[in-house]
Amino acid sequence: MVIADDEPLARERLRMLLAEHAGLEVVAEAGDGLAALQACAEYQPDLVLLDIAMPGVDGLEAARHLAAFEPRPAVVFCTAYDDHALSAFDAAAIDYLMKPIRAERLSMALERARTFIAGRENLGSEAGGKSARTHLCARLRGSLRLIPVEEVHYLQAEEKYVVVHHSRGEDLIEESLKSLEDEFGERFVRIHRNCLVARHELMELRRNGEGHVHAILRHAPNPLEVSRRCVPHLRDIVRADF
């Protein structure tokens, strides 16, 4: 398992409580959400004990990314705040423990984790639809890269992957274009069955000599093809923005 908490004393207390349970191994500890995701990509733990209020990527967003991992780990939140419970279960956590964590309550959570691991239930696979993520997660040979959504120019489907074109280059993510459209519909607009474009990147629509319409983006080297059915909606967006 992985323990993620930005307070060293909280991690130490969890280690002490876990020592009472035979057969459990803590493979890594992390002090923030990004480090937790890196550890999970490397060790593929069955269980993650995850604080919520951490610097940078917080526990809720980390859990949304973990929901897309395969195999998906069980996530148990350990927090000092009781106002995140609904968001925690939206993010597909299997339990929610309040600090200071009691031994008997931890035992119950571990039993729930065993049940989850045995069946790998598909709970909350939409990765927390109540709140869009601030980053996309690209897995790279056992590690990962988090890409700020605000830096993404456009998303293009390519076989079973989506290519993320962003300000620092390109990365592949294993998510569907439809799920990304559902989650980030306010930020991205569909221009083709295989492409979503950041609204702020869309500059103009241009028709070529053959009658095909293309989108001109601020930071794309080449125009992108626009399907006929998307043209009217895109024209409205361009008019509204300029």
Token readout for 186 is 């306010």
pLDDT the model gives residue 82: 74
Q: Is the pLDDT of residue 146 over 80?
A: yes
Based on the number of CB atoms within 10 Å of its own CB, is 45 exposed (0-12), middle (13-18) or buried (19 or more)?
A: buried
Q: Which of 46-50, 114-118, 131-135, 196-200 has the lowest mean pLDDT?
A: 131-135
Residue among 64, 68, 72 nearest 47 (CA)? 72
Its sign, for the CA torsion 234, 240, 241, 242, is positive
Asked if pLDDT for residue 148 goes beyond 60, the answer is yes
Pairing of strands 188-192, 135-140: unpaired
Residue for token digits 């959400």? Answer: 33
Q: Which domains does the chain have, with CATH numbers?
A: 2-119 (3.40.50.2300), 151-241 (2.40.50.1020)
- For CA atoms 51, 56, 58, 63, give the dihedral sign: negative
Quick one: pLDDT at residue 128? Answer: 43
Q: Please tell me which residue, 139 or 211, carries the higher pLDDT value.
A: 211
The residues, any chain, with a CB within 8 Å of residue 164's CB and separated by 6 or more, are 136, 138, 147, 152, 155, 170, 171, 172, 173
pLDDT of residue 125: 44
Radius of gyration of the chain from its Cα atoms, rounded to whole angstroms: 21
Q: What are the strands, taking DSSP E only, across the chain? A: 2-4, 28-30, 47-50, 74-79, 95-98, 135-140, 143-148, 152-158, 161-166, 169-173, 188-192, 195-198, 202-207, 213-217, 224-225
**Does pLDDT of 31 surpass 60?**
yes
**Dist. CA 231–CA 228, nearest whole Å:** 5
Across 59-78, average pLDDT: 90
Q: Is 140 or 17 the better-scoring residue by pLDDT?
A: 17
The reported pLDDT for the residue numbered 132 is 67
Higher pLDDT among residues 126 and 152, named by residue: 152
pLDDT of residue 89: 65
Residue 153, helix vs strand vs coil = strand
SS3 of 111, please?
Answer: helix
pLDDT at 197 over 90: yes
pLDDT in tens, 113-134: 999 888 865 444 444 444 668 8
Q: What is the pLDDT of residue 36?
A: 95
DSSP single-letter state for residue 72: P
Average pLDDT, the chain: 88
C-alpha distances in Å from residue 219, one per residue of 59, 71, 137, 167, 203 = 32, 36, 21, 8, 10
Task: Give the rounded percent of residues in the chain with a pLDDT score beyond 70.
Answer: 89
Please tell me the number of Cα atoms within 13 Å of 23 on its side-chain side.
5
What percent of the chain lies above the pLDDT cut of 90?
66
> Is the pLDDT at 56 greater than 60, yes or no?
yes
- What would the pLDDT profile of 165-181 be if each residue is shown by its tens digit? 999 999 999 889 999 99
Reported as a pLDDT band with limits 50, 70 and 90, residue 242 is: very low
Is the whole-model pTM more than 0.75? Answer: no
